[in-house]
Amino acid sequence: MMELYRCSMMPGMPAEPVRDSRLSAQNVMPACSTCQGTGRIITQDKEALMRQIMEAGFAMDDVILFLDTHPENQDALRYYKAVRDMRDQSMAAYENQFGPLRYTDVTSSSWDWVTEKWPWEGGC
């Protein structure tokens, strides 16, 4: 029996960790260190926002694989929605201050897609 959900304070998350006997240790989801149990974005700091995007983004990358092979699992679907919302909110907060992460999200009056740092340069 492995613990699937660690960040039980995220919006829409079950209060207690969900256990699923079909899961292996590889399915343990990461705890969200940045929401600090509030389930809300609590920072405007660039590095902290990116860490939140990466944590929520990876949680989503991982749970969608689980859902691909367990499409009827309602707990995983709730978790997906929670981490997706967290990811969307933190990406919007990041992009609002620090420039686009996706070429669909440019809002500036100039094409800042080409001017912001690139990820392999230690940007985002």
Partner 1 sequence: MWVYEKRLQFPVNIKEPNAKMAQFIMSQYGGPDGEMGASMRYLSQRYSMPYGEQKAVLTDIGTEELAHLEIVAAIVHQLTRNLTAEELEAQGFGPYYIDHTTGIWPQAAGGVPFNACEFQSKGDPITDLFEDLAAEQKARSTYDNILRVVTDPDVCEPIRFLRKREIVHFQRFGEALRGLQDKLDSRNFYAFNPSFDPAPVMARNSQ
Positions in the binding site for partner 1 (CB under 8 A): 57, 102-103, 113-116, 118-120
Handedness of CA 95, 101, 107, 111 (dihedral sign): positive
12 or 119: whose CB is closer to partner 1? 119
Q: Which amino acid is at 30?
A: P
Give me the least distance between CB of 120 and partner 1, in Å please: 6
Give me the least distance between CB of 46 and partner 1, in Å please: 17
Give me the least distance between CB of 24 and partner 1, in Å please: 25
3 state SS of 13? coil
Give phi and psi for 19, each to the nearest 5.
Answer: -110, 140
